[in-house]
Amino acid sequence: MSPSIEVFQDLTIASSTSQMAQLEKSLIERAKAPWRHRAEEISEPQEHGTVLFMEREEDAALPAARLVLWPSEVGYSVMNVVPLKVGQLDRATYNALLQEFTQLIAVPAAASHELSAKLSRQWQSLDEWFSPSTAQALRSFSNSANKSTGASHPRDQERWMNFLISAHNDRSEIDSDLLYRWLHEVERWQEDEARDLLMDYDFARALLAHYDQHR
């Protein structure tokens, strides 16, 4: 099994434009303890619907938190989950709050209109972020490289550039933080070397994209 890391999950409730008002109403009506709709929260209507604020009471299981649902042309998505008392939510607590909201409110509200509520995977690996060939190129580099020198050795540099070109050709859009975490937490690169590789990755992707636009 491929190594994986825990990530902040995403929730999307797919909907057509014509069903957004009904979905909004269902989400509000199905909010139940420990969750409630924050009706008094002032929100400017957006082009595709109204921003919804849901709040959870603190209990022995989870802290008090606010969840923001943002409307778009493809439905509602959770913009953020923020704590109301503690300073910051760790990934596990953030995901637990989102999973509970999904099960108690989002799924029933979506199902009542034959819509779907999709929660992204909590644990992800290279196979979620890259094509098989690009993931293999990165593994080949990381498994062979001297982790104290990064990509400075000619053969390591060649493998690294093969990965960069493959990622560019795939139009991979991985969050840079995830790539850094994979290098540091899974592949055990030191922090400084992992950051150097990440800077190199961001620069190369920007350079190759600029080249494509102007050739």
Angstrom distance (rounded) from CA 144 to CA 153? 11
Confidence bin at 51 (pLDDT 50/70/90): very high
Q: Do residues 51 and 152 share a domain?
A: no
For residue 124, what is the DSSP state?
A: E
163, 151 Cβ separation under 8 angstroms = no
Q: Do residues 160 and 185 share a domain?
A: yes
* Strand arrangement of the beta sheet that strand 11-14 belongs to: 35-37, 52-56, 65-72, 75-83, 11-14, 117-119
Asked if the structure places residue 37 within a domain, the reply is: yes
The predicted pLDDT at position 3 comes to 85
Angstrom distance (rounded) from CA 43 to CA 59? 27
Show which of 121, 150, 184 is a domain's final residue: 121
Q: Do residues 186 and 83 share a domain?
A: no
The predicted pLDDT at position 49 comes to 79
Q: Do residues 135 and 113 share a domain?
A: no
90-106: average pLDDT? 97
Q: Do residues 99 and 184 share a domain?
A: no
Q: Do residues 52 and 108 share a domain?
A: yes
The predicted pLDDT at position 170 comes to 93
The residues pairing with 65 across neighbouring beta strands, listed in sequence order, are: 56, 83
The predicted pLDDT at position 11 comes to 98
Structure token digits, residue 139: 């593994």
Confidence check: pLDDT of 84 > 70:
yes
Poorest-pLDDT segment among 40-44, 133-137, 161-165, 169-173: 40-44
Confidence bin at 43 (pLDDT 50/70/90): low
Closest CA to 56 of 37, 73, 43, 28: 37
Instruction: Please classify residue 127 by burial: count the beta carbons closer than 10 Å to its beta carbon, then call 0-12 exposed, 13-18 middle and 19+ buried.
Output: exposed
Angstrom distance (rounded) from CA 74 to CA 29? 21
Q: What is the value of pTM for the model shown?
A: 0.83
Asked if the structure places residue 36 within a domain, the reply is: yes
The predicted pLDDT at position 1 comes to 62
Tally of domains in the chain: 2
36-58: average pLDDT? 82
Q: Do residues 92 and 51 share a domain?
A: yes
Asked if the structure places residue 27 within a domain, the reply is: yes
Per DSSP, the three-state class of 35 is strand
Angstrom distance (rounded) from CA 125 to CA 134? 13
Asked if the structure places residue 161 within a domain, the reply is: yes
133-159: average pLDDT? 92
The predicted pLDDT at position 45 comes to 65
31-57: average pLDDT? 84
Asked if the structure places residue 2 within a domain, the reply is: no
Confidence bin at 149 (pLDDT 50/70/90): confident
The predicted pLDDT at position 17 comes to 87
Angstrom distance (rounded) from CA 168 to CA 190? 25
Q: Which domain holds residue 170?
A: 125-214
Asked if the structure places residue 1 within a domain, the reply is: no
Q: Do residues 32 and 69 share a domain?
A: yes
Average pLDDT, the chain: 92
The predicted pLDDT at position 44 comes to 61
Q: Do residues 108 and 169 share a domain?
A: no
Better pLDDT: 3 or 119: 119
Q: Do residues 12 and 109 share a domain?
A: yes
Indicate the residue type of 137.
Answer: A
The residues pairing with 14 across neighbouring beta strands, listed in sequence order, are: 75
Better pLDDT: 36 or 17: 36
Asked if the structure places residue 59 within a domain, the reply is: yes
- Token match 């961001």: residue? 202
Confidence bin at 167 (pLDDT 50/70/90): very high
